[in-house]
Chain A
Amino acid sequence: MADQAPLLILLFPLFGAVTISLIGPWKKQLCLPVAIVATIGSLAAALTAFCDVLQVGQVQYFLGGWESPRGIGIELRIDHVNGLVAIVVTAVALITAIYSARRVDDEFEGKVPLFYALFLLSATGLIGMTLAGDAFNLYVLLEVASLTGYALVAMGKERRAAMSAFNYIVMGTIGASFYLLGVGYLYLKTGSLNMGDIHQIIVDQDLRGSKIIQVAFILILIGVWIKMAFFPLHAWLPNVYSFAPSTSACLMAPLVTKVAVYVMIRMMLTVFGPETVFVALPWSEIVIWLAVLDIVVASFMALAQKNLRRMLSYLIIAEVGYMVGGAWLANHYGMVGAIYHIISDSFMTLCMFLAAGILFTKSDALTGFKGMFVRKPATMMAFTLGAFSLIGIPPTCGFFSKFYLIRGGIESGHWEFVIALLFSSLINVVLFFRIIEFAYFHIDEKGSKPDQTEAPAAATPITQVISLWTAAIAVLLIGLFNQPIVGWIQTTLRPLTIVGGQG
C-alpha cells in the first residue's frame, strides 16, 4: 500500500469527485462526508509518501509500471520540496472542506453536489501539478485545475463574479497556451517530454546555449507568470478573488498562485537546470527588478483598497513578487526562502481568507471592522495572528521566510530586493495595524467603548472556528519548526549548482 502512496494522493480526490457527481443529486447530505474522507485520505497518502522520501530520497512512481525510455509513460516524482508542497495543498483542501460545511448551502443554493465535485477536481489538478514528472501531463493537470477554478468562481451569487471569471478564462487560457507552446519547443529540440529526461539531454548534448531551449524557457515562464499573476500580468487576480464565493476563494487564493510558483521553480531547477537559467540567459537582473516593481506596486494598490478581500488579493500579488524575486536571486538562501515562502504563504493566505469569510458574509468594507473584537473575539485573534505573519513578526512563519529571502538578497548583493521586502513589510504594518486598531480599540462618536452586550453577534459555527484556528496554528507551527523544513528544502537543493549552497 505504501508503495502506491504517490498515486493515492491523486486518486482519493479524483474518485471522490466522481463519487459525488454520481450520488450527489440523490444524497445531498453525503457530499460533504465524501469530500472530507477524500481530502483526509489524500493528506494521509501525502504524509506517507513524504515519509518514504525522508528515508530513500527522491521517489519515482511510474503509472502502470511503464518505465519506457524517452518518457512516454506517466511519471510522478516526489522529492523533499514537492512532497512538502503536496502536503500543503492537501491540508489546505481539507481545512477548506471543513470550513465549507455550513457555508455551501448559503453560497451555492441547489448546486452543492456540483460545488464539491468541482472542489475535489480542482484539488486533484493542483496536487497533480506539484507531482507530475512529465511536462505535458503538467499542462493537462494545469488545465484541470484552471477549468474547475473558472467554474468555482463563476458559480458565485455576486453579480460581477461571472464577468471576472470570463476575464480569468481568457487570461488563463493564454497562459496555459504559452506553457504548451514552450513544451512544444522543448520537445522539438530534445525529443522528450519527461522532465528528468529533458534535463539529462540538455546537459549531455550541451544545449544550454541553444536558442530553441531559451525560447522554450521564456514561453513557459510567461505562461506560468500569467497563472501566478506576476506583475505586468496580474490584472485578472483581484477581481477573481474578491468576487468569488468565499469557499472557492479559500481553496484557490492560497493554492493557485503558489502551485504556479512551484511549477516555475521546478522548471528552473529540474528541467532547464540552474546553469541554463542563470548563466546562459542574462535575465536575472530584469526579473528581479520586475519582482521589485511587483512588490512595490501591489503594496501601494493594497493600501488604496477599501475592501478586505480586495486588499488581500493585492497582498497575494506582492507575495508572488517575493517568491519570484527570491527564486531568481541565483543564490542558495534566496531559493530556500522562496520555497519556504510557498509553504508559509499558503497557510497565511488561507488564514486571512477564512477569517474574511467568517467576519463578513456580505459587504467586506474595511470600516466594518469597528468593534469587531468585541463581537467575534476568537476569529479576530486568529486574524491578528495571520496579520502578524504577513507583516513578519516572529515566531510566525512570515518572519522566517522574510529572514531567508533578505539573507539571500544581501548575499547576492541585490539590495533593491531587500529594500522592496522591507518596504512591503512596512506597508503591511500600516494596513493591518489600522484594522487592528479599529477592531480592538474603536471608540464610537460618543466617546464610549462599544458595550459587550450591545451587539450580540450570531455564534460562528464550530466547523468554521476549527478550520480557522487550524490554519492559524499551522502558521505558528511552520514558523516554530522552520529548522527541519528548511533542512528538507536544502536536502533537495544541495546537489544542484549555483543554488546548492556551500555546505
Chain B
Amino acid sequence: MDPLGDLILARFNYWIYVVLMMIGLYAMITKNNLIKKLIGMSIFQTAIILFFVSTGVKEGATIPIIDHGEDHGSELVEAPAAAEHVPEGRGFDHEEALESDAFANPLPHVLMLTAIVVGVATLGVGLSVVQKVFIRFQTLEEDQILENIRTSDG
C-alpha cells in the first residue's frame, strides 16, 4: 500500500473520530445558540465513543461469548479460528484453548456503555441548565445574554 493510503485508509477509523471531534469542538466554540453548543458537545462525546468501539474490532473475530460445550450440555457456537487449535476429543476449554484473536475485545464496548450513560447525564444537566438560562434571560442566543448582563450591570 502506498504511504498515503497507509496513512488514511488503513487508519480511517481514527480519521473519522478526529473529524467528528473537530466538528463538535467547532460547534461548541463558534455557535451562538446554546442548544447548538450542546449538540456540538454531544458530537464531541460520540466521537470518543466511536474511537473506543473501533479499537475493540479485530479482523475475522466473532462475538466474545465463550462456549463451554459439554458443561452446559449443548454445542452452540464453535469459535471459528480457535476451533482448529482445540485438541481432538475435548470440549472447548477456555483455560487451555482460548485464542484471543478469535474474539472481538469486549472491554472497550463495556467501558463505552458507562461513557454513554455519562454522556446522557451530561446532556440532561446541560439541557436543564439551558432551560434555567432561558427562564432568566428569555433568549438562548449567547450574544444577547451577554448584552443583557452587560447592560444590567451598568
Is the Cβ of A188 less than 8 Å from the Cβ of B107?
Answer: no
Of A75-83, A165-173, A260-268, A367-375, the one touching chain B: A165-173
A22 within 8 A of B: no
Is the Cβ of A163 less than 8 Å from the Cβ of B145?
Answer: yes
What's the Cα separation between A160 and B122 when bound, in Å? 20
CB-CB < 8 A to A151: which residues of B?
Answer: 125
B48 to chain A, nearest CB (A): 5
A301 within 8 A of B: no
1/0 per residue B21-40: CB within 8 Å of A? 00001001000001001000
**Nearest-CB residue, chain A, relative to B111:** A136
Is the Cβ of B125 less than 8 Å from the Cβ of A150?
Answer: yes
Is the Cβ of A140 less than 8 Å from the Cβ of B118?
Answer: yes
What's the Cα separation between A165 and B127 when bound, in Å? 11
Is the Cβ of A180 less than 8 Å from the Cβ of B28?
Answer: no
Is the Cβ of A177 less than 8 Å from the Cβ of B34?
Answer: no
Q: By DSSP majority rule, is chain A's interface helix, strand, loop, or mixed?
A: helix
Is the Cβ of A163 less than 8 Å from the Cβ of B122?
Answer: no
Is the Cβ of A174 less than 8 Å from the Cβ of B52?
Answer: no
Question: Please, how many residues of chain B have a CB less than 8 angstroms from a CB on the other chain?
Answer: 31
Contact of A147 among B48, B122, B133, B145 (CB under 8 A): B122
CB-CB < 8 A to A159: which residues of B?
Answer: 136, 149, 152
Is the Cβ of B48 less than 8 Å from the Cβ of A181?
Answer: yes
B108 within 8 A of A: yes
Is the Cβ of A173 less than 8 Å from the Cβ of B41?
Answer: yes
What's the Cα separation between A181 and B114 when bound, in Å? 14
A308 to chain B, nearest CB (A): 17
A51 within 8 A of B: no
CB-CB < 8 A to B37: which residues of A?
Answer: 166, 170
A239 to chain B, nearest CB (A): 10
A-B contact number at CB 8 A: 75
Question: Please, how many residues of chain A have a CB less than 8 angstroms from a CB on the other chain?
Answer: 27
What's the Cα separation between A166 and B36 when bound, in Å? 13
Is the Cβ of B48 less than 8 Å from the Cβ of A177?
Answer: yes
1/0 per residue B129-143: CB within 8 Å of A? 110110011000000
A187 within 8 A of B: yes
What's the Cα separation between A498 and B114 when bound, in Å? 37
B69 within 8 A of A: no
A294 to chain B, nearest CB (A): 22
What's the Cα separation between A140 and B126 when bound, in Å? 17
CB-CB < 8 A to B41: which residues of A?
Answer: 169-170, 173-174
B115 within 8 A of A: yes
**Nearest-CB residue, chain B, relative to A146:** B122
What's the Cα separation between A184 and B37 when bound, in Å? 25
A338 to chain B, nearest CB (A): 29
Known: A160-B149, A163-B145, A184-B55. A173 touches B133 (CB 8 A): no
Is the Cβ of B44 less than 8 Å from the Cβ of A166?
Answer: no
Is the Cβ of B51 less than 8 Å from the Cβ of A181?
Answer: yes
A162 within 8 A of B: yes
Known: A166-B133, A169-B129. A177 touches B45 (CB 8 A): yes
CB-CB < 8 A to A193: which residues of B?
Answer: 107, 111
**Nearest-CB residue, chain B, relative to A140:** B114
CB-CB < 8 A to B118: which residues of A?
Answer: 140, 143, 147, 176
A316 within 8 A of B: no
A72 within 8 A of B: yes
A365 to chain B, nearest CB (A): 12
**Nearest-CB residue, chain A, relative to B29:** A170
A154 within 8 A of B: yes
Is the Cβ of B129 less than 8 Å from the Cβ of A150?
Answer: yes
B13 to chain A, nearest CB (A): 12
Contact of A169 among B48, B115, B126, B149 (CB under 8 A): B126
Residue from A159, A160, A166 whose CB has the most chain B CB atoms within 10 Å:
A166
Chain A interface (Cβ < 8 Å from any Cβ of B)? 72, 136, 139-140, 143, 147, 150-151, 154, 159-160, 162-163, 165-166, 169-170, 173-174, 176-177, 180-181, 184, 187-188, 193
**Among all A-B residue pairs, the 9 with the closest Cβ atoms:** A162-B132, A162-B133, A143-B118, A154-B129, A169-B126, A165-B129, A166-B129, A150-B125, A173-B41
